[in-house]
Amino acid sequence: MPNRPPTLSVIVPCFNVEGYLPDTVTSLVNNARDDFEFLFVEDRSTRDRTYEALLELTKRLPRSRVIRHERNGGLATARNTGIDAAEGRYLTFLDGDDWLAPGHLAGLVDRIERLDVDFVRTDHVQVTGVERAVHRAPEGRRHTPLDPRSSILPVDETTMVDYPYAWAGVYHRRLLDRGLLRFHDGLRTAEDRPWIWQLHRGADSYAVASLHGVFYRRGVATSLTQIGDIRQLDFFRAFDLVLAELGDDPDAGTLRTKALRTYCVVIAHQLLDRGRFERQVAGRLRRTAAEALGRMGEDELAEALVGMGEERVRLLRRIRGGMKGVAA
């Protein structure tokens, strides 16, 4: 029946991605079913005709809608707009410059229905120019229901909260009803960090599936990962939100150590790569990093930074000051 609620809602935020949309939309045409809906959120593009391209390209995609923001709100807000409009039992995401293998969406629905979990996470294929590489979700237990909290630790290893990509998975609508699926409005980068933490802390069950149907473009000129402007510094707000939301968690002590380590890894990464930032932004990065590190105690840093490596720990010591007891 054409008016029945969809099984799956696919949310696609789009901003300055006109050149990539033919691949993106074609991949969705090759995934379409009459019980899937496709919601494109056009976030007031400034450099191209993304909106007009969407209106034309989606004519061949059944059960699709284009929603246009009145003003640019950033990726988190665009995803929330799509979430608010979604009617599906399950929700998934795709960025406007990425694409899917044929049948990937059907595979997502099959896994979450068979495993009967709150959400399923998947691997993905990273695309850099003509090179492609499979990136595995950092959880070895596959195709079985798991406690999401069991995949947050250990502190000194890459875990599922370090794999935050919203588009690498599918999510049951009941997570939205419990307040676990929306993003923090206004975050323009690192929007998925507080989001993945709230999922793993609050959901009851999840699974990891060995699906390789999401193709994630790296090196896109318009991507925020490639742009050294002030929006990049939103990661400070994102990790501060993670730490604030841990306050009433029964395992707050251990989880805070993990969150601090990830926060410091990202701070060190941005500082080591500060040459790509505009000069004023690079100065702001250094000052804000010093303030963030200054709010962390030396004892908890000593625990969080074990094994992080001499170069990064030395850099963090220099920015923060003190940290005499913190070893690499």
**243-264 pLDDT per residue, tens:** 999 999 999 999 999 999 999 9
pTM: 0.94
pLDDT at 219: 79
**What parts of the chain have a pLDDT lower than 70?**
1-2, 220-228, 324-325, 327-328
Q: H/E/C letters for each residue in the chain?
A: CCCCCCCEEEEEEECCCHHHHHHHHHHHHCCCCCCEEEEEEECCCCCCCHHHHHHHHHHHCCCEEEEECCCCCCHHHHHHHHHHHCCCCEEEECCCCCEECCCHHHHHHHHHHHHCCCEEEECEEEEECCEEEEECCCCCCCCCCECHHHHCCCCCCCCHHHCCCCCCEEEEHHHHHCCCCCCCCCCCCCCHHHHHHHHHHHCCCEEEECCCCEEEEECCCCCHHHCCCHHHHHHHHHHHHHHHHCCCCCCHHHHHHHHHHHHHHHHHHHHHCHHHCCHHHHHHHHHHHHHHHHCCCHHHHHHHCCCCCHHHHHHHHHHHCCCCCCCC
pLDDT at 3: 73
pLDDT at 324: 66
Span 28-63, pLDDT tens digits? 999 999 999 999 999 999 999 999 999 999 999 999
pLDDT at 33: 98
pLDDT at 2: 53
pLDDT at 229: 83
pLDDT at 1: 42
pLDDT at 140: 97
